[in-house]
Structure 1
């Protein structure tokens, strides 16, 4: 998914059920106007793996997760505070995050990870497919999700994301799963890897 304000090549991934909802639909009013627990979402705690072998350049693991969601409050807070803090504190936006550099100099950023879930540390070598942490709700978020992007510059405030594709994944077409190769699903398209 690529929400408003994101670069087209920076993606937010949200776990959903068969109907495409991030939590049981009976909880929508709770999310909009009161408090929805992050543990009631399908993304919370999902494992995150490195897409390639490389070196961990940064592993920030101290930002607390917000354990309750309120969509109206979170949207207002995100829009108002984001403008004030845009060039000051990248940690406010990303929460707990990992930056991994590939052997050919591409940097992968994984943001909004669950506090205390990281299995990697700065300076550590990682292998493709290695567990690096779990999806959380840290930083500037409206729900648990994984923010992922590839880039060539290390300055997270100014770096331009670069395009990427999955080697293969399945997307839903007319109610059935269909394999696609060397592609990326469209915005809000359900897929599985």
Structure 2
């Protein structure tokens, strides 16, 4: 699903195998809202493709439902995050503590509260974004990499970065239902007022018909098994 506006091509911000449960390749707005620059945003997680339901954690479903899951039991937590473009770091926020484990009820409550009651004029954007990095890619295009692991941000404001450079790690900070990378392009460095911009990824593989197929300038759907070397 691609709207009339041509997507901006960037490099995939992760390595290894990934799934995008929320993606503009399946619906727009991908997160059910145009707010906070999220119209074309992606969420990326890692899953066990061999298990029913593609779980994102190394524990049983009953344990997840009853007791929650420690962050280190999630496949993607702590995975390296890479700069999707050459650019300048315009925001690099760290120090926002992650909850030590996921909990279905409290995480749902937190997500509902932020979705319905967050006021960008008076509330701290870190309560939603957690630890995050914003890169100015040029031409009024800004890349946001959100919910990063506490203490993992490796860049600072004003620093130049090259595409493919490690800049942080996948985390569970802010308004995060489970460890994942939230990624979006925007027309402003201020998430609270930004409009989302459509983007596609310059190269990745998708597992189809028993083998890996190369995709150029693609937008994955929420069923695609994505691989980036």
TM-score if structure 2 supplies the norm length? 0.78
Task: Name the stretch that deviates more: 45-54 or 100-109.
Answer: 100-109
Call closer, same or farther: CA 1:42–1:160 in 2, change over 3 Å: same
Q: 1:4 offset after TM fit, Å? A: 4.2
Tell me if 1:9 matches 2:43: no
Shift of 1:61: 0.4
Bigger RCO of structures 1 and 2 (CA < 8 A, at least 6 apart): 2
Aligned-pair RMSD on alpha carbons? 1.6
Residue 27 of structure 1, CA deviation: 2.1
Cα 1:81–1:127 change in 2 (3 A) is closer
**1:18-44 CA-partner distances (Å, limit 9, x unpaired):** 2332113x4222222212101000010
Pair 1:125-2:160 in alignment: yes
CA distance in 1, matches of 2:132, 2:142: 13
The question of whether the paired residues in 1 share the 8 Å contact of 2:78 and 2:170 is answered with: yes
Task: Choose 99-108 or 80-89, whichever is displaced more.
Answer: 80-89
Distance 1:67 1:162 in 2: 33
CA contact (8 A) 1:33 1:72 kept: no
The aligned length equals: 192
Tell me how far 1:103 sits from its aligned partner: 2.9
SS in structure 1 of the partner of residue 215 of structure 2 = strand
Name the SS of the counterpart of 2:116 in structure 1.
helix
Question: Which residue of structure 1 aligns with residue 55 of structure 2?
Answer: 21
Work out the CA distance in 2 between the residues paired with 1:81 and 1:191.
29
Deviation for aligned residue 1:123: 1.0
The reply to whether residue 92 of structure 1 matches residue 124 of structure 2 is no
Partner of 1:143: 178
User: Secondary structure of 1:165's match?
Assistant: strand
Please point out which of 81, 85, 98 is paired with 1:65: 98
User: Is the CA contact (8 Å cut-off) linking 1:65 and 1:137 kept in structure 2?
Assistant: yes
Structure 2: which 5+ runs fail to align? 1-20, 23-29
Q: Distance in 2 between matches of 1:167 and 1:154?
A: 23
Determine if contact 1:110/1:146 at 8 Å carries over to the other structure.
yes
Q: CA deviation at 1:179?
A: 1.3
Q: Separation in 1 of the partners of 2:179 and 2:145?
A: 13
* Alpha-carbon shift at residue 70 of structure 1 (Å): 1.1
Conserved? CA contact 2:90–2:158, under 8 Å: yes
Using the alignment, how far apart are the partners of 2:171 and 2:144 within structure 1? 15
The separation in 1 between residues aligned to 2:91 and 2:72, in whole angstroms, is 27
Partner of 1:39: 72
